[in-house]
């Protein structure tokens, strides 16, 4: 828990370790390239650091010396050599941790994995080709035919459609529950295997009591998984509450510059080995160039999130007072139904908000068509501020009943706040709403 201390106490009491272990992928992933991955001295290794320091330095190895590159090297290769057939035999027998092929592991990917694991306070991490690759690999690593999944109904549309359109064909039954978890006890049976939550939710920015959900999972021996994309590990660290796995669309805030597609899962070594195997089998591996961009983006994560939180609060307050706005969804506002919960379990209120217009869909379209500084684009978490209509993007191909259950209205505009000056963002919305 983050003791309710928000941006004024940045980075607060929560500290981060550099010493999170890298996932080794069972018998398949290799030892770290010594030049890239050597850790600091034992004294430095044990010292706990703040979030921004961790974002810059975790996973980067020892860079002190003469002629050492400050930037993260890119291992731009598909395959790796062996010194002999005997060494290759040792790898096949699980006795060697050498790199063999980038789908199995790569030094640049290893840097990203250690950095994300350290930020989340987890034992290990796996990076993937996209957020959906991380989500599907985590879920398929924990579920099999005949299992049942309990999930919050308010989810990113891609996750919801995966559960709706794919899991039924795999013999996996999905039960949905509200963000308040009301009635969740009635959904548990002998086949229940996984509890999946998203908090804050996409696009309605509702919160789940993540400590309560984690406790429920432990009580019923469920594998608990949470999508932490909106919050980022800067604002909440679910692993500390007992979650088995945390997933991210690293495309969003972790990378932060709208220039890479990436995903990540974190957890203990056991679950990350399962996720890594799913990535190897299904092919959702990250490219080294993407890993480089992710590593570079994460180095400014804390700075970006702080500015985005400040901007989002200013924009939310402006929108709440506008006569054409029916309702604003931002957990930093006292009017938000989960405001007290957000103060308790998050270290800031995030960069995401949504608002409903009194004029419905036509009014929402008009605003999105009139913005000049905001960009009309899907995705979120980047340095640029974006607006989008969820009904046309993340929540397309859903029935009215499904949209209602997910809290999505036709007149809803989702806003991803960037790092621009808040006065300029407000001025743009003011003219778009005029």
Q: Which residues are catalytic?
A: 103, 156, 227, 252
Residue 115 near residue 295 (C-beta atoms within 8 A): yes
Sign for the pseudo-dihedral over CA of 99, 103, 105, 109: positive
- What distance lies between CA 312 and its chain's CA centroid? 19
Element (H, E) at 159: helix 157-161
Which three-class secondary structure state does DSSP give residue 425?
helix
Give the C-alpha separation, 235 to 265, whole Å.
17
Query: How many CB atoms are located within 10 Å of the residue 348 CB?
Result: 27
Tokens of 286: 């990250």
Which three-class secondary structure state does DSSP give residue 345?
helix
Give the C-alpha separation, 252 to 35, whole Å.
29
- 352-357, strands of its sheet edge to edge: 325-329, 352-357, 412-416, 386-388, 375-376
DSSP code at position 150: E
CA distances from 291 to 116, 215, 264, 384, 433 (A): 11, 34, 11, 21, 40
Helices (H) and strands (E) in the chain, counts: 16, 12
74 prior amide bond cis, ω within 30: no
Query: How many CB atoms are located within 10 Å of the residue 388 CB?
Result: 23
Of residues 201, 212, 263, 275, the one with CA closest to residue 238: 212
Give the C-alpha separation, 51 to 118, whole Å.
9
Q: Specify the pairing of strand 352-357 against strand 325-329.
A: antiparallel
Length of the chain equals 434
Longest dimension (CA), the chain: 74
């Amino acid at each position: 828990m983050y003791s309710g201390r928000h941006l004024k106490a940045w980075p607060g009491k929560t500290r981060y370790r550099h010493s999170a272990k890298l996932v080794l992928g069972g018998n398949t992933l290799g030892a770290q390239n010594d030049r890239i991955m050597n850790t600091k001295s034992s004294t430095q290794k044990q010292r706990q650091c703040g979030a921004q320091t961790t974002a810059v330095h975790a996973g980067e190895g020892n860079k002190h010396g003469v002629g050492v590159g400050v930037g993260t090297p890119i291992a731009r290769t598909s395959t790796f050599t062996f010194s002999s057939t005997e060494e290759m035999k040792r790898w096949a027998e699980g006795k060697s941790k050498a790199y063999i092929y980038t789908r199995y592991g790569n030094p640049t990917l290893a840097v990203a994995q250690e950095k994300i694991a350290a930020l989340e306070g987890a034992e290990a991490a796996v990076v993937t080709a996209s957020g959906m690759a991380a989500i599907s690999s985590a879920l398929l690593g924990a579920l099999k035919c005949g299992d049942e999944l309990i999930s919050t109904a308010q989810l990113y549309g891609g996750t919801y459609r995966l559960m709706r359109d794919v899991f039924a064909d795999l013999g996996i039954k999905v039960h949905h529950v509200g963000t308040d978890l009301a009635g969740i006890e009635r959904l548990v049976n002998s086949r229940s295997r996984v509890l999946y939550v998203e908090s804050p939710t996409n696009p309605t920015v509702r919160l789940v009591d993540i400590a309560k959900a984690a406790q429920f999972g432990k009580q019923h021996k469920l594998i608990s998984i949470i999508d932490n994309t909106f919050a980022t590990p800067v604002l909440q660290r679910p692993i500390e509450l007992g979650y088995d796995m945390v997933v991210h669309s690293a495309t969003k805030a972790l990378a932060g510059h709208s220039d890479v597609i990436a995903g990540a899962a974190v957890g203990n070594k056991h679950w990350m080995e399962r996720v890594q195997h799913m990535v190897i089998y299904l092919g959702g591996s990250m490219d080294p160039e993407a890993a480089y961009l992710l590593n570079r983006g994460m180095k400014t994560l804390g700075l970006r999130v702080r500015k985005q939180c400040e901007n989002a609060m200013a924009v939310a307050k402006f929108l709440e007072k506008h006569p054409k706005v029916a309702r604003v969804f931002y957990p930093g506002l006292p009017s938000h139904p989960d405001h007290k919960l957000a103060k308790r379990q998050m270290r800031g209120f995030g960069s995401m908000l949504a608002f409903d217009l009194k004029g419905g869909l036509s009014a929402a379209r008009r605003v999105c068509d009139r913005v000049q500084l905001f960009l009309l684009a899907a995705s979120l978490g980047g340095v640029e501020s974006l607006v989008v209509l969820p009904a046309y993007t993340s929540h397309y191909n859903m029935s009215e009943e499904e949209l209602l259950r997910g809290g999505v209205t036709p007149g809803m505009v989702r806003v991803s706040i960037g790092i621009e000056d808040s006065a300029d963002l407000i001025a743009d919305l003011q003219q778009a709403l005029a």
